Amino acid sequence: MKAKTLETLFHETLKDIYYAERKVLRALPKMARGAQSAELKSAFEQHKDETQGHVERLQQVFDLIGKPARGKTCPAIDGILEEGEEALEDFADSPALDASLVAAAQAVEHYEIARYGTLCRWAKTLGLTEAAKLLDATLQEEGATDKALTKIAEGSVNKAALMAA
Ligand code: FE
Ligand code: FE
Ligand nearest to the CA of 51: 1
Ligand nearest to the CA of 58: 1
Q: For residue 93, name the pLDDT band (cuts at 50, 70, 90).
A: confident
CA of 63 to the centre of ligand 2 (A): 22
Q: For residue 164, name the pLDDT band (cuts at 50, 70, 90).
A: low
Ligand nearest to the CA of 17: 1
* pLDDT at res. 1: 62
Of the ranges 5-14, 65-74, 89-98, 138-147, which one carries the lowest mean pLDDT score? 89-98
Dist. CA 61–CA 69, nearest whole Å: 9
Q: Name the average pLDDT for the chain.
A: 95
Dist. CA 108–CA 25, nearest whole Å: 11
pLDDT digits (tens, 9 = 90+) for 20-57: 999 999 999 999 999 999 999 999 999 999 999 999 99
CA of 1 to the centre of ligand 2 (A): 36
CA dist list (Å): 68 to 12, 59, 90, 139:
12, 8, 39, 22
Ligand nearest to the CA of 138: 1
Domains and CATH numbers, the chain: 6-163 (1.20.1260.10)
Dist. CA 43–CA 28, nearest whole Å: 10
